[in-house]
Structures are given as C-alpha cells and as structure tokens.
Amino acid sequence: MFRFAHNNINVLDLERSLAFYEEALGLKEVRRINGGDFIIVYLGDSHQSQHLLELTWLKDRKEPYNLGDNEFHLAFTADDFDAAHEKHKKMGCICYENPGMGIYFINDPDGYWLEVLP
C-alpha cells in the first residue's frame, strides 16, 4: 500500500519562494534539512492534508530551471474560491484562467504553475 508523501520543486531564491507560498497559499515550513551546498524545506498546509511540498535550493545554481512546456503542475482547493482569486489577482500572480472549467492557475517565483480549484 502506498500514499503520497510530497512533491519536490527546485527554487533559485529560497526565501522569496517561502514568502510566496505562505502569502499565496498559506503553506508553512514544517521541516528543514541543511546540507551545506543545498537546503530542503518541506511546506505543509496546517494539517489540512498530510501531503507536503518540498522546496530544494542548490547553492551553486544560478540559472533558471527549464520547466519545459509547464504541462505539469500542483493543484490546490480553496475554501473561498472567490476570495482566493481576488487575493491572487492583487498579487499579480494569475497566469491563466479557464472560467468555463471554473479554475485558474498562478505562477510561483520560479515559473511553476499552481492550479486553484473551488
């Protein structure tokens, strides 16, 4: 039997990413691994689920990550979809909307797409 533990994304500016994920989605640091030339931070949603987002920062990485066509993404549900949409609109991070499906996507500081569902 298996269950999800976490998803990983690599980030260029760890502090900027931590601030974004807390402001945009309410994710907070739950664990950190300092490896000298890398730092891994696990973010959680205050125990709404057990799933974690792992942010990996590599000391020597300076160039942006190649995200391909950005066809992969993480998805989040919102208790108050309209309020979430308004918040993300004010933050300027909405990158795609599909009103027919009732969803939209936001970009994180590294360009990863995050889907928001009602």
Give the per-residue pLDDT at 47.
76
> What is the distance in angstroms between the CA of the first residue and the CA of the last residue of the chain?
29
Q: What is the pLDDT of residue 70?
A: 79
**Domain coordinates of the chain in residue numbers?**
6-60+72-117
Residue pLDDT, tens place only, 63-111: 999 998 878 899 999 999 999 999 999 999 999 999 999 999 999 999 9
Question: What is the model's pLDDT at position 72?
Answer: 86
pLDDT value of position 46:
86
Summarize pLDDT for 28-75 with one digit per residue, the tens.
999 999 999 999 999 999 877 899 999 999 999 999 999 988 788 999
In this predicted structure, what is the pLDDT of residue 2? 84
pTM passes above 0.85:
yes
The beta strands (E) that lie in the chain are given as 6-11, 28-34, 38-44, 52-58, 74-77, 94-98, 103-107, 113-117
pLDDT at 21 over 80: yes
Architecture of domain 6-60+72-117: Roll (3.10)
Q: What pLDDT score was predicted for residue 68? A: 87
